[in-house]
Structure 1
Amino acid sequence: MLTVSHAQSGFLSVDGCIDWSVDLKTYMALAGEPVRVKCALFYSYIRTNYSMAQSTGLRLMWYKNKGDLEEPIIFSEVRMSKEEDSIWFHSAEAQDSGFYTCVLRNSTYCMKVSMSLTVAENESGLCYNSRIRYLEKSEVTKRKEISCPDMDDFKKSDQEPDVVWYKECKPKMWRSIIIQKGNALLIQEVQEEDGGNYTCELKYEGKLVRRTTELKVT
């Protein structure tokens, strides 16, 4: 018996599933990048993991939402594969944007949730797309740490990924009070000039993965 861990309850859909609607987490990637979409059931809604669910006879199935319909996903392995509780897009494309539903079921039990994925092309002359930036805010003279978000999937064993930082898509000689701390950038005393777009970059299986954060200074 699986225990629900979410504070609220889902509703019963027409297919007899407990439907948690759309998870709050949004996945974002630039075209050509790898991205992993995890079935949120195992992270926010039930107190079990994929292996335990399998051992109790539950099957995990994936669908892509097309309007009001959910179409089963055919995994090509070349560009997109199913790996345990996730879909791996090995090279995401803009057409991959949309909602993906994972369904955990057997003959007597069914639960599902949808996740949102946005894939966008770089804007002309830039290394990011402003639609999929992260946002941070800071006041002048305050201490601010800018993380390189959603990079856990690209770690190799226990090693921290080798991250390179850019500002406005260009390499920068940081002044002495800006230091790289692990895969984050620490500004020990924020100045007005520190506002702007910070991009962290790493290599994963021969591909570049970038995350851009806009820092607004007030």
Structure 2
Amino acid sequence: MRPPSPLLILLYVTLSRAMKTVSKRGSVDLCTDWSVDYLKYRVLQGEPVRLKCALFYGYIRANYSQAQSVGLSLMWYRSTGLGHGDFEEPISFNGVRMSKEEDAIWFRPADLQDVGLYSCVLRNSTYCMKVSMSLHVAENDTDLCYNSDMRHMEKAELSKSKDITCPDIEDYIEPGKDPHIIWFKECRPKQWRASILQRRDSLSIREVKEDDIGNYTCEVTFGAFVVHRTTELTVTGKMEGGMKRCTSLGYHFFFLQRFSAF
């Protein structure tokens, strides 16, 4: 039998020490509970989302394969309430709409009934660590292609350049391939002027104008599904004579800067 590699020994010792340290707090099931992770998953109804176990992305120095190699199992639980500590039950994966894939849960697609807290538990017969992630699923606003509460916010300055990215789409891009993205403004297709260029995952505005204010939605094709991300762009600009104009969603505010000599 081959002796375990130094990496596996170091990983096992690291995990054991971390779990032993916190299990002394008096937890009934000896499971270290890191509560709810700061990253909140938000998705539109009918769109896919990958909910990743946060333990491997900031709590332990190991990935899923390394944890498996030292005998640790990953289990998932769900609480239909949004309060930490609510009743949790194990998840039965049907492999169709919701499936467990390595260190994550895939929803293809997400539904309103999926809202809640999802806990991933990494354990063996002796040690246990747990963290929860929140998932919020929402419908589009009436007659719109986005939900206002899920928009990203960006600011630009008149006559300057600005890039509007299609954010958080890494899970929907196949390795070695460029994403298939269509851009909309106010949920409608648009013929972009020559100074607006569409790059791999962004719109590049060379010279921002007042007409550029509004909501930009990128649509990413992901298999049989599409994923939408919407960014609200506001614009500010300085004018001559000490006058500063701030433009936001079609509203214009003027501030006169006065200087007094004493």
TM more than 0.5:
yes
How far is the alpha carbon of 1:41 from its aligned partner? 0.9
1:103-142 counterparts in 2 under 5 A?
A: 103-142=121-160
Map of 2:192 onto structure 1: 174
Map of 2:57 onto structure 1: 43
Is residue 23 from structure 1 mapped to residue 37 from structure 2 by the alignment?
Answer: yes
TM-score normalised by the chain length of structure 2: 0.76
Map of 2:241 onto structure 1: none
Map of 1:98 onto structure 2: 116
- Contact kept, 8 Å, 2:80 with 2:115, in 1: the verdict is no
4+ residue stretches of structure 1 with deviation over 6 A? none
Residues 181 and 10 (structure 1 numbering): CA distance in 2 closer, same or farther, change over 3 Å? farther
- Contact kept, 8 Å, 1:10 with 1:20, in 2: the verdict is no
What secondary structure does 1:69 align onto? coil
Is residue 81 from structure 1 mapped to residue 113 from structure 2 by the alignment?
Answer: no
What secondary structure does 1:95 align onto? helix
Out of 139-148 and 160-169, give the one that drifted further.
Answer: 139-148
What secondary structure does 2:58 align onto? helix
Mapped to 2, the partners of 1:191 and 1:98 lie a distance apart of 42
Greater length-normalized contact order (CA 8 Å, ≥ 6 residues apart): 1
Is residue 59 from structure 1 mapped to residue 73 from structure 2 by the alignment?
Answer: yes
Mapped to 1, the partners of 2:42 and 2:28 lie a distance apart of 30
The letter of the residue matching 1:165 is W
Residues 30 and 177 (structure 1 numbering): CA distance in 2 closer, same or farther, change over 3 Å? same
Map of 1:157 onto structure 2: 175
Map of 2:210 onto structure 1: 192
Residues 38 and 55 (structure 1 numbering): CA distance in 2 closer, same or farther, change over 3 Å? same
**Structure 1 residue ranges without an equivalent (≥5):** none
Higher relative helix content? 2
Mapped to 2, the partners of 1:114 and 1:10 lie a distance apart of 17
Residues 105 and 184 (structure 1 numbering): CA distance in 2 closer, same or farther, change over 3 Å? same
Residues 22 and 216 (structure 1 numbering): CA distance in 2 closer, same or farther, change over 3 Å? farther
Note the alpha carbon deviations across 1:135-169, whole angstroms, 9 max, x for none: 22223333222211121111122112111110100
How far is the alpha carbon of 1:38 from its aligned partner? 0.6
Out of 75-84 and 114-123, give the one that drifted further.
Answer: 114-123
Q: How many residues align?
A: 214
What secondary structure does 2:88 align onto? strand
Mapped to 2, the partners of 1:60 and 1:185 lie a distance apart of 40
What secondary structure does 1:211 align onto? strand
How far is the alpha carbon of 1:54 from its aligned partner? 0.5
Mapped to 2, the partners of 1:115 and 1:192 lie a distance apart of 40
Mapped to 1, the partners of 2:100 and 2:210 lie a distance apart of 45
**Structure 2 residue ranges without an equivalent (≥5):** 1-11, 16-20, 237-262
